[in-house]
């Protein structure tokens, strides 16, 4: 009977160890998930900023062509500065 009790206690210890390992793995996976969600949110924000900048450039470019002169150089300069700002601000 004592031998049976010891075997059951050993099994119980093994099960507890397995549960602890599973909890540790679950916590690591949850941390990875949260990090990925955060990175996705950041990427979406950068995309929105870039889209807004592009819309502004297109609007400005259309207005410039309507006046009879081209400001392509100005638009390229604005776009370059905006994208650089987005990159350094977000990364």
Q: For residue 50, give the 3-state DSSP assignment.
A: helix
Domain span at 77? 2-90
Contact 90, 49 (CB under 8 A): yes
Q: What is the mean pLDDT of residues 12-20?
A: 98
* pLDDT at residue 76 is higher than 90: no
For the stretch 24-70, pLDDT in tens is 999 999 999 999 999 999 999 999 999 999 999 999 888 877 665 45
In the chain, beta strands by DSSP E = none
**Is residue 20 predicted with pLDDT exceeding 70?**
yes
Number of domains in the chain: 1
Q: Which two tokens stand for residue 14?
A: 């093994």
pLDDT value of residue 32: 98
């Amino acid at each position: 009977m004592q031998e049976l009790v010891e075997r059951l206690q050993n099994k119980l210890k093994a099960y507890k160890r397995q549960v602890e390992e599973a909890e540790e793995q679950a916590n690591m996976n949850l941390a990875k998930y949260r990090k990925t969600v955060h990175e996705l949110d950041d990427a979406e924000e950068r995309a929105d900023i870039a889209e807004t900048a592009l819309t502004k450039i297109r609007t400005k470019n259309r207005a410039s062509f309507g006046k009879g002169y081209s400001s392509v150089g100005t638009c390229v300069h604005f776009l370059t500065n905006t994208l650089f700002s987005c990159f350094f601000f977000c990364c």
